[in-house]
Amino acid sequence: MKFYLTVAIILFQVFTSPAQKISLVPKIKVHQFAMPVRDISVITMSGDTSYLGMIQKGLLNNKKMVVPDKPLRAFFQDYITSQYKAQYTPGGKSLLYIIKYLRIGERSGNVRENAFVCLKADVYVSEDQQQYQLACSVDTLMKWAGMDVTHAHNRNIEEAIDLIAITADNQIADATKQTKESILNKLHEWFAQPAFVLKAFRQGVYLTYDDFLHNNPQTNGTMQKDGRNLVMLDSLNHPISNFWGFSYQGVFYKKVRNTFIPFIRYGRNFEMVATEIDLDPVMSFGTELQLIAEESPFGPLQPYATGIDLYNGELTL
């Protein structure tokens, strides 16, 4: 089987083109905490700290990468301090924001556009800055509609950050107390799994996302073309029906309904690409945009996926 250079071409076009920088300049009226707050600290644990997502530019809606105007942790910390420090009080609680993932996206229609922010974050609260308790977790996909959403992404990110404050303020921390070091060690352990650190992967079929994370394919698998679809066969040439995905020559393919979505590791993120495999004739993968889900509350302008969720293996912005 032949493997083509589409992956390299796509990556070259996306990641070497000039990126657009985005700044967070206070534009919204933020949440007023009911609980007394001493300070808010931010730690970013996202897979890649130089990438916020893709936007559409020009009449042809060309894709352009967006990056923060400063290192990601400072990007969030500086903004949060400037917006919430007026509420800080010496006798208040210390909040620790763990921002695990934040990605923006767009979708254009005939008249209107939708902008999206995907956010995953945990908030810990401490009375003494020594022992912390989990106050809440935020895992959401937010949407804004307008005529030109490209210029409003910084405001959208600010509203997503404020959602963290709103959610934390309405929760009661009753989890086990732990040190900040313990919290960070658990997060670092997640990114120490083989899928985030290995340079070479075993070729084969992953039955679950956990198999993929541990570079543990359960069978080698054989590819066979069935009409317009690709079928994976086991060692007895029986079709494998339920599995998460497979790896082939350095590219991973996630099974999504009746197709496969190719992706590679970029930094510690998993980004979708386009590939071709010669199955006589050639089959192309990743040439069509994929919706994050079949059903979405966002109407006809549902968000397009650009990568794989680091924490559950599903499609995401």
Q: Calculate mean pLDDT across residues 126-147.
A: 93
The DSSP symbol for 187 reads: H
- The pLDDT confidence band at residue 10, using thresholds 50, 70 and 90, is very low
CA–CA separation, 84 and 94 (whole Å)? 13
**Which domains, ranges and CATH numbers included, belong to the chain?**
17-188 (3.40.50), 194-316 (no CATH)
pLDDT at residue 94, as a whole number = 97
- Secondary structure letter of residue 23 according to DSSP: -
Q: Over the stretch 200-217, which tens digit does the pLDDT of each residue have?
A: 889 999 999 999 999 999
Q: What pLDDT, in 10s, does the model give residues 149-201? A: 888 899 999 999 999 999 999 887 677 899 999 999 999 999 999 999 988 88
Per-residue pLDDT at 295: 65
Per-residue pLDDT band for 258 (boundaries 50, 70, 90) equals: confident
pLDDT confidence of residue 223: 87
Which residue has better confidence, 74 or 271?
74
Its pTM stands at 0.88
Other CB atoms within 10 A of residue 249 CB: 12
- Better-scored residue on pLDDT, 162 or 298: 162
- The answer to whether residue 305 scores a pLDDT higher than 70 is yes
C-alpha closest to that of 222 among 261, 248, 202: 248
